Structure 1
């Protein structure tokens, strides 16, 4: 109770990433990955689990999950090359480049094999890595991997909203870009918006975002598009983590991936958009624990 006798408002469920990690031992540092200064957050112990964020994102996308997952895993979340607060080399960040950066990071960290869980672009990179570096991946979670069918309208919307937000990283431009990821936009915090504003306002990020968005160009994308020719090479047991309100693709696209993957299952999170790891963190963590610790997809 306050001094006036009225009840103080409750503390929000999410205050900040540091509030989520308040009792969790963790380490935030930068490592050199083939000349790319790469920001990495690690916590926990157990089987390795690497979390990959989406287009234009950063490791704080998993702020609500790292602590709980660290109960059973050695969790690594990082900013992909050209993203977050990692270096921004002037080269197109195509799927193979992002996957090579991931494998280079595993080498630097001394991780021989790991589980991968990727959201949106991170799911694409995780799948590409599992197909082309099968000896490095144990199990795979593809979390709303995004626009499997290469819909032009989805690519155009993502390209336009991201470019607008980076060219002018104001509250008015960045908040709608972040809210687009959510089924319930009221869950978007000021902290999350302002972190994204800081990233988008970095020196050199206008150039970097052009390199990020090459994968939203149909000609470039065609070289890396989801295709059974490479998806069918994924030997790792795979879980598709979909939602019922993903703005980038429906369950028909999940069914398409299921038909291409040799060993895969599907879990649908209800009441979430493109970021179930934020909107439904308890379910997100429980599904990862069940699948990665040995249960069937």
Structure 2
């Protein structure tokens, strides 16, 4: 069974700071800890930077660790427009410019992995190492698209602690990791003024007419030049390990590592292994 972890117990002792920056007119929330080469984390659909609470303390001993709320997510601004992959990528690139980051290692989870890969393909000089963490439904399965869309909208439009908990439990292999604190935090985010409008923009790429312009494929994936790690799990509800093998063929020289007994959030369910893999791959190029 999962530990009843709390956010502050996980980051206690880290040189953590929270701040906001203006990224192309978007007020953007950032967490940062540590010094050295930058490692940027990108969260998933409807998520927020606290998804990496269990990674800051360990990884900040080796890197300047940065996590942020994507445009339209968490406590960042929520403009009234679809949050497409290119738009989310532009926001990420803009954040790097504001923070004077010339080159970063980039780790994205779920749609954050999609955004990270898109950024690596279209802004190759920015990315040193790329880690795609359960990047989510690369084969565009309609049932997964519907699940992500409907459960996210329900958790916001019918915002109760129980509905938010159900949405979070879908991410985990071990449901006991979904603590009251995690539910309360996401409930607070989902009940912000304007979030009911924003949620439809958040799930925009779950609609095929929007998604089709950004779907995973060799046409753009083979433009990724940096060392790439596909970080999968054996219980990801969005994609099987067999799908990872497809992506491995599309991204030249990419490597695959599978974390066992974890779902869509291995950074939370298996933080020691997750942190160790990140550190070894980024610093030494090994697993």
TM range (shorter): over 0.9
Q: Partners in 2 of 1:24 and 1:13 — Cα distance? A: 20
Deviation (angstroms), 1:171:
1.3
In the alignment, which residue of structure 2 is the partner of 1:270? 260
Picking from 135, 147, 160, the partner of 1:145 is 135
Residues paired across the two proteins, number: 286
Verify the 8 A CA contact 1:50 1:76 in the aligned structure 2.
Answer: yes
In the alignment, which residue of structure 2 is the partner of 1:225? 215
Verify the 8 A CA contact 1:232 1:261 in the aligned structure 2.
Answer: yes
Give the structure-1-normalised TM-score.
0.95
Picking from 3, 14, 19, the partner of 1:24 is 14
In the alignment, which residue of structure 1 is the partner of 2:25? 35
| Aligned residue runs from structure 1 range 1-297, under 5 A | 15-296=5-286
Q: Deviations over 1:260-283 (max 9, x none)?
A: 111210000000000000000000
Q: Partners in 1 of 2:6 and 2:163 — Cα distance? A: 22
Q: Partners in 2 of 1:199 and 1:125 — Cα distance? A: 21
Q: Deviations over 1:150-202 (max 9, x none)?
A: 00000001111111110021012110100000000011111111111011101
Verify the 8 A CA contact 1:65 1:281 in the aligned structure 2.
Answer: yes
Q: Secondary structure at the match of 1:233?
A: coil
Deviation (angstroms), 1:13:
5.0
Deviation (angstroms), 1:67:
1.1
Q: Unaligned 5+ residue runs, structure 1?
A: 1-11
Q: Deviations over 1:93-133 (max 9, x none)?
A: 00000000000000110101000000000000000000000
Q: Secondary structure at the match of 1:274?
A: coil
Verify the 8 A CA contact 1:131 1:235 in the aligned structure 2.
Answer: yes
Q: Secondary structure at the match of 1:32?
A: strand
Q: Partners in 1 of 2:71 and 2:284 — Cα distance? A: 31
Q: Deviations over 1:39-94 (max 9, x none)?
A: 00000011110000000000000010111110100000000000000000101100
The structure whose Rg is larger is 1
Give the structure-2-normalised TM-score.
0.98
The alignment's C-alpha RMSD in Å is: 1.0
Q: Secondary structure at the match of 2:203?
A: helix
Deviation (angstroms), 1:296:
3.5
Verify the 8 A CA contact 2:116 2:132 in the aligned structure 1.
Answer: yes
The structure, 1 or 2, with the larger RCO (C-alpha pairs under 8 Å, 6+ apart) is 2
Q: Partners in 1 of 2:90 and 2:286 — Cα distance? A: 29
